[in-house]
Each structure stands twice: as C-alpha cells, then as structure tokens.
Structure 1
C-alpha cells in the first residue's frame, strides 16, 4: 500500500499537482457499505469526507444578480418530464420558483 501511495504522489507531481501535500486516504467503500467499522471501513469514509472538506476550497459564486445556469444536458424522464442539468454561474433559485429558459 505504501508503494502505491508513493507512485500516486509521484504521478501527481509529474502533472504539476502538489503530490507531497495532497492527502491520500486508504479505505474500502465496499467494506464501509457492508458496515465494517475497522480502520479501512466506515471510518475511512469519514476521514475522506473530512479531507475533502478541508483540502478542496468551496468555490465562490456571485449570489447577487440574476440566476444564470448554462444548460449542459437535457433528459426526458417518464413520470417526471424534462430535466436539465448544468452548473449555476450566478444567482440563487429556490424550489418551486419559475425560471426563464433563454436561447
């Protein structure tokens, strides 16, 4: 396992990522789903989430201004209707609020 971690760090560094400073969490999602409470089971998922929260900064987004979300994909789901996906660039929208589709 240590050899794999070392190789991953070297690979990250070769692509100009901070390989030595990047947290690497070892664990098993399968064991966690099965309820395993050993170090590589459920606790490793908690440790992973803590590392993600502390290492990856929350992106800043302009919340004042009109809601803008470029549409990336459109799906027709039976029983639900048309569903669009995208990334919110600015503004806020609430559940049930009407939005205008432009373009």
Structure 2
C-alpha cells in the first residue's frame, strides 16, 4: 500500500501532451484522478481535462490543468476541481527529480 498522496504520475516528460493518473486526498475524501490532454486553439483552455470516478464507477470530468507563466516567464501548471473549490499547483516532491511525478500542492483561492 502506497502512502504517497496528492500526486499525478504522467506517462512522459512533456507534460503538455502526457496522460496522467494520481490521487488527491483531503480530510473528507480520496479521489483517484486521470489527466487527459486537451487540444484547443483557445489560449485560455486547459492543457488537460481531469476525471474522477462517480459512485457507480463512471469517469466524470471534474476539472482541468492549466499551463501558466510565473513572473520570470517560466511555465508552471495549476489544477482546479470546480465543485470542490480545490486549487493547486503541480511541482516536484522534495528530494525527487522525476519530471513525470508531480506533487499536487493545494492552495487557497484569493478573494
């Protein structure tokens, strides 16, 4: 049994086109998630759609992953799950250097 929570394991280094699967754990739920690349000409569209399982086992779209740029112009990714009000950045776990394993780092939305 793994004790790693809040992560997405992608299937390749290029996260823009990679598929991923992972887990989001909060105080009141555990969500197995899938990230599926999404291609759009809209620059505000997510790079991925995020799916979780319904109680009967159906894949339902619950959110997305967006590629953004920080103040230095370097890209980073954010994850949002609308109905839960859940927002997070993706990044590396301390001490690991595998670019396909991304920690989900929750943050509180700004007012």
Q: TM tier, shorter chain?
A: under 0.3
Structure (1/2) with the larger helix percentage: 1
TM-score (norm 1): 0.23
TM-score (norm 2): 0.22
